[in-house]
Chains A and B, each alone.
Chain A
Amino acid sequence: MTLNGWLQIAVFMALILLLAKPMGSYLTLVFERRKTYLDPVLGPCERLLYRLTRVRPDEEMRWSEYAVAMLVFSAATMLLTYVVERLQAHLPFNPQHLANVEPALALNTAISFTTNTNWQAYVPETTMSYLTEMLGLATHNFWSAAVGLALAVAFVRGIARREKTTLGNFWVDLTRGILWVLLPISFVFALALVSQGVIQNFKPYDTVKLVEPQTVTGADGKTTTVTTQTIAQGPVASQEAIKMLGTNGGGFFNTNSAHPFENPTPLSNFLQLLSIFLIPAGLAITLGQMVGSPRHGWAVLAAMVVLWFAGTLTTYWAESHGNPMMHNVDTRALLTQAGGNMEGKEVRFGIANSALFATVTTDASCGAVNSMHDSFTPLGGMVPMTNILLGEIVFGGVGAGLYGMLVFVVMAVFIAGLMVGRTPEYLGKKIEAYDVQMAMLYLLIFPLLILGFSAVTVLMPNLGLASLANHGPHGLSEILYAYTSATGNNGSAFAGSNWNTHWYNYSLALAMFFGRFLMIVPMLAIAGNLAGKKIVPASAGTFPVTTPLFTVLLTAVILIVGALTFFPVLSLGPVLEHLLLRAGHLF
């Protein structure tokens, strides 16, 4: 670990905390339909869109109707992507003449992008046409992020409203999220990325004459001479911007934000990191403002910062120490090199930026990577996995992070109530049996999917074990990470294995689908129930949700729930691998 590394990490968090308040205040204006500077341009667009799509913007929806609208919309967008993938060979913007995507992979990918997961069981540059990337995939980066935003705002309204039956209008929330938040920021961000060298074109792939031709020995033992290099192109910057801002994470290229055309400079990397946390950090402030208790927003944000720091520290520390099994290799941090574990990392990012990126992308449900998590040290790789297993509530995905966190807030308040023996209250609302049941349902669906699918895969040797790239405990980690990433709608991977098989395509698709939609329903049910409640005046016995004590309790509840659920399986994967590596055991 170096001073410069820590300085970069500190500057990053300082900027996030500085941007949280303006971003959060702006989001409040947008979703309370108050005046903003962009209204003269966007107001007419908004009204036109409502007219064309037959939306009645002043109609309020109950939680169940809100959920139905969201599900129907998700289904329609999923279908569009599936159709575009299946027909891409016959459609324009396909200069490489890529074939139609086969059904299992097309379904997996359609679900993956609809659920904001962006799990990719394919190599994009050899599978997806430019049209599929733009119209089939990048659109979902807007839509699924806007859906997340809408759901989070609906939940916050549930907390804020008194004796009401409705949570807002899904179509209005969706539209305002796209037009006022995601599209304008992406527009500016995309051009900033181009200025750093992120490409944006519709050229066929370029062929380059190598400066030094190479003699390559193939797997069959035959030698061939390679004289050219093929360079993939495409409309990358426009997709890259919303990929990060919407915490989607689906790369235009196979190696995502490690690819020099997606993330060419340390500054583009820094901007990408900022854009992952920008909206989630703002939403915590929005929460405080909309429920009329700004300090509550900061208390929630504080818990996020604590957990973010713990993860970053652990990963940075672990990756700074090289792999003890590599001999006669210089892994010291010097002025002329970053040192550490450089397998699967890029020189321009070094250790600090790779560790920070891995932590941030899994704190949020982004899933973009600028280094290969599969090649991290055992403990360094355990942090990204643990971040997802905790529910991606550390800042979290756009919207999804906040509503996930609020479910934990309900649990924290409930446990605080049990400790003092009174009916728990949250911002004046009594938390009752129904709310806690729904919160528990939300919290239980998650491990059930992850552990269930992982166990089936491990126990049935014919299903998916042949796909694994690594053996021993690391193989278990690969399977566990895959179902964790899918269920958590993250999309990053221990990417060595061949995930493009029928078993993984279908089972991971189910995990992504249930991991998103099955968890949204109980969450909205809580919101709908909370909205109908009366406000109980605060008394001496009310547990305040604006204090450091609350932050500590919330952090503890998150960690205890996570540890109780997942420690056993983590001890068989990364923990065991760490001990075996120290003992010099290879697989």
Chain B
Amino acid sequence: MRNHLTTAILYTLITGLVLGLGYPLAITAIAHLVMPGKASGQLITENGQIVGSALIGQPFTGPGYFHSRPSVAGAGYDAGNSSGSNLGPTSKTLIDRVDASVKAESNGDAPVPVDLVTASASGLDPDITPAAALYQVHRVAQQRHLPDATLQTLVQQNITPRQLGLLGEPRINVLALNLALDRLARGR
């Protein structure tokens, strides 16, 4: 018992230093040598100003932008405070919130794609489905005085297909799409 106690304490301290400091520091060193951008969060800079991360969603709610999904991370898309709604399927709060989103997003013709009115798991989902982007084309086009067809092409160009042709779901990064939209509008 005494022997085991000594061993346990020494073992905890020594392997603790190796696994708790040596290992993560080694990974950090290699990652920054080989893939510095990815290790730092793929920040996007425009005119010397960091405007976002390629992986982290941002809120877009104005009519002239493609909207991102509802978020309950902090006040919305707070990437220092990630969170889902965790509301259950029989929650009245959930159904009321979805109803309000449906009212806000509806284009009057067709039912709203489900991802556009439901909160993501992380509250930071950078993506919407192609269906949700196409659903918003008409509104954005009118607001920006652009033809629908131009924006439909823009949406198609921004679709990230399934990885390796198999994994995940087709998706559109909302921040990238909206930055491309701004560039398109400026270029005219």
- Determine whether the beta carbon of A209 is less than 8 Å from that of B51: yes
Give Cα A269 to B3, complex, Å: 43
Is A42 engaged at the interface, CB distance under 8 Å to the other chain? no
0/1 per residue, B147-158, Cβ < 8 Å to A?
000000000000
Is A495 engaged at the interface, CB distance under 8 Å to the other chain? yes
Closest to A139 in B: B20
Closest to B175 in A: A211
Is B58 engaged at the interface, CB distance under 8 Å to the other chain? yes
0/1 per residue, A471-506, Cβ < 8 Å to B?
111100110000000000000001110000000000
Shortest Cβ distance from B2 into chain A, in angstroms? 10
List CB contacts (< 8 Å) of B55-111 with chain A.
Answer: 55-62, 65, 69, 73, 75-92, 94-95, 98-99, 102, 106, 110-111
Cross-interface CB contact of A350 among B12, B98, B169, cutoff 8 Å = B169
- A138, A270, A344, A471, most chain B CB atoms within 10 A: A344
Give Cα A196 to B99, complex, Å: 36
- Determine whether the beta carbon of A258 is less than 8 Å from that of B87: no
Is B140 engaged at the interface, CB distance under 8 Å to the other chain? no
0/1 per residue, A371-393, Cβ < 8 Å to B?
11011111001000000000000
Across the interface, which residues of B come within 8 angstroms of A258, CB to CB? 82, 84, 120-122
Give Cα A265 to B162, complex, Å: 10
- Determine whether the beta carbon of A336 is less than 8 Å from that of B121: no
Closest to A323 in B: B89
Shortest Cβ distance from A37 into chain B, in angstroms? 20
Across the interface, which residues of B come within 8 angstroms of A494, CB to CB? 86, 88
List CB contacts (< 8 Å) of B1-53 with chain A.
Answer: 1, 3-16, 19-21, 23-24, 26-28, 30-32, 34-35, 38-43, 49-53
Is B117 engaged at the interface, CB distance under 8 Å to the other chain? yes
- Determine whether the beta carbon of A372 is less than 8 Å from that of B121: yes
Across the interface, which residues of B come within 8 angstroms of A47, CB to CB? none
Across the interface, which residues of B come within 8 angstroms of A369, CB to CB? 121
List CB contacts (< 8 Å) of A147-195 with chain B.
Answer: 171, 174, 178, 183, 186-187, 190-191, 194-195
Given the known interface contacts A171-B11, A337-B114, A347-B69, the answer about A259 and B49 at a Cβ–Cβ threshold of 8 Å is no
Shortest Cβ distance from B53 into chain A, in angstroms? 6
Spot the interface stretch: A72-80, A441-449, A451-459, A510-518.
A72-80
- Determine whether the beta carbon of A4 is less than 8 Å from that of B162: yes
Cross-interface CB contact of A266 among B85, B163, B182, cutoff 8 Å = B163
Is B131 engaged at the interface, CB distance under 8 Å to the other chain? yes
Is A24 engaged at the interface, CB distance under 8 Å to the other chain? no
Cross-interface CB contact of A231 among B9, B24, B41, B114, cutoff 8 Å = B41
Closest to B126 in A: A260
Spot the interface stretch: A51-59, A277-285, A521-529.
A51-59
Closest to A137 in B: B20
- Determine whether the beta carbon of B89 is less than 8 Å from that of A577: yes
- Determine whether the beta carbon of B21 is less than 8 Å from that of A135: yes
- Determine whether the beta carbon of B79 is less than 8 Å from that of A232: yes
0/1 per residue, B124-142, Cβ < 8 Å to A?
1111111110100000000
- A237, A261, A347, most chain B CB atoms within 10 A: A347
Across the interface, which residues of B come within 8 angstroms of A216, CB to CB? 75-76
Across the interface, which residues of B come within 8 angstroms of A478, CB to CB? 88
Shortest Cβ distance from A53 into chain B, in angstroms? 4
Cross-interface CB contact of A138 among B24, B82, B118, B170, cutoff 8 Å = B24
Shortest Cβ distance from B108 into chain A, in angstroms? 11
Is A25 engaged at the interface, CB distance under 8 Å to the other chain? no
- A73, A337, A471, A494, most chain B CB atoms within 10 A: A337
Give Cα A358 to B187, complex, Å: 46
Across the interface, which residues of B come within 8 angstroms of A229, CB to CB? 52, 56, 58, 77-79
Shortest Cβ distance from B179 into chain A, in angstroms? 7
- Determine whether the beta carbon of A212 is less than 8 Å from that of B65: yes
Shortest Cβ distance from B166 into chain A, in angstroms? 6
Across the interface, which residues of A come within 8 angstroms of B111, CB to CB? 328-330
- Determine whether the beta carbon of B11 is less than 8 Å from that of A123: no
Shortest Cβ distance from A345 into chain B, in angstroms? 6
Closest to A75 in B: B8
- Determine whether the beta carbon of B110 is less than 8 Å from that of A336: no
Give Cα A236 to B163, complex, Å: 22
Across the interface, which residues of B come within 8 angstroms of A186, CB to CB? 23
Is A572 engaged at the interface, CB distance under 8 Å to the other chain? no
Cross-interface CB contact of B168 among A54, A126, A266, cutoff 8 Å = A266
Cross-interface CB contact of A69 among B4, B55, B95, B119, cutoff 8 Å = B4
Give Cα A338 to B131, complex, Å: 9
Shortest Cβ distance from B91 into chain A, in angstroms? 5
Closest to B70 in A: A343
- Determine whether the beta carbon of A495 is less than 8 Å from that of B86: yes
Is A254 engaged at the interface, CB distance under 8 Å to the other chain? yes
Is A334 engaged at the interface, CB distance under 8 Å to the other chain? yes
- A178, A260, A381, most chain B CB atoms within 10 A: A260
Is A267 engaged at the interface, CB distance under 8 Å to the other chain? yes
Given the known interface contacts A135-B20, A258-B120, A331-B114, the answer about A231 and B88 at a Cβ–Cβ threshold of 8 Å is no
Across the interface, which residues of A come within 8 angstroms of B182, CB to CB? 211
Give Cα A7 to B175, complex, Å: 30
Closest to B165 in A: A4
Across the interface, which residues of A come within 8 angstroms of B11, CB to CB? 49, 53, 55, 73, 76, 171, 174
Shortest beta-carbon contacts, A-B, top 9: A266-B168, A496-B86, A258-B121, A135-B20, A350-B169, A230-B80, A266-B167, A337-B131, A474-B88
Q: List 8 A-B contacts (CB under 8 A).
A: A11-B166, A54-B6, A325-B89, A327-B102, A329-B114, A372-B86, A372-B121, A374-B84
Other A-B pairs beyond A77-B16, A138-B19, A347-B171, 5, CB < 8 Å: A49-B15, A53-B7, A264-B55, A346-B125, A372-B84
